[in-house]
Amino acid sequence: MQNKFLRFLAPLFVLCVVFSAHAAETGASALELVGKGIRTKTVVFFNVNVYEAQFLVSDKPAFMSSLKSGTPMAALAKTDKAELRLKFLRNVSAGKIETSFRDGLEANKISPKTPNMKAFLKVIEDSPEFDEGKTVVLTGNIKEGTIVYTDTAGKATTMKVGTADVLNLFSIWFGTPADGGLEKLKSALLGKAE
């Protein structure tokens, strides 16, 4: 009986160690959930679910207070760390995700051709496929100006891009929405009921 119990606990211990390593690298342990929602995309007249997103910040009360008196981007600018976790609900090619992110940047009048944006989009393009059930994580340390992108295989890539470009990347979700699906998701991520 004791051996069965230990065999049951062993995978849980491994999971805790892996999560702790990720948390130490990205600062995830100190983050609080603000909101979550489903990213939809219209494909041939039908709305399809693409991914479930969760939005976390390092100081939720301060973020929510800043949000009441300003825009989501202004509130993000006052935050130390922010994170988006995207769990895919269908298989999507890396090329389609890269194009979607590019569209989000362009909707916010941010050139995807600057060195930092090109480097980030190249990491997305070179990522393993975004398969159903897989998760990617985008952690921004706004104060330090770094982005940690963790792909579907768990590989973390850290990029020093500067505070402005960390905010530029988060504008895909919190700036001007590129389409109606992102507009609904933005509201949900900010903890607003639909």
Beta strand 32-43 with 46-57 is antiparallel
CA-CA distance, 80 to 88, in Å (whole number)? 27
- Rounded Cα distance, 177 and 184, in Å: 9
pLDDT for res 44: 83
Provide the pLDDT for residue 22: 47
pLDDT at 135: 97
Task: Tell me the residue ranges of DSSP E strands in 44-125.
Answer: 46-57, 81-88
**Over the stretch 34-78, which tens digit does the pLDDT of each residue have?**
999 999 998 888 899 999 999 999 999 999 999 999 999 999 999
Q: How many whole angstroms separate alpha carbon 108 and alpha carbon 177?
A: 8
How many Å is the maximal CA-CA distance in the chain?
62
**pLDDT of amino acid 19:** 44
Per-residue tens of pLDDT for the chain, all 194 residues: 555 544 554 454 444 444 444 444 544 458 999 999 999 998 888 899 999 999 999 999 999 999 999 999 999 999 999 999 999 999 999 999 999 999 999 999 999 999 999 999 999 999 999 999 999 999 999 999 999 999 999 999 999 999 999 999 999 999 999 999 999 999 999 998 55
**DSSP annotation string for 117-143:** HHHHHHHHHTSPPB-TT-EEEEEEETT
Are the C-beta atoms of 136 and 149 separated by less than 8 Å?
yes
Buried b (16+ CB within 10 A) or exposed e, 93-103: ebeebbebbbe
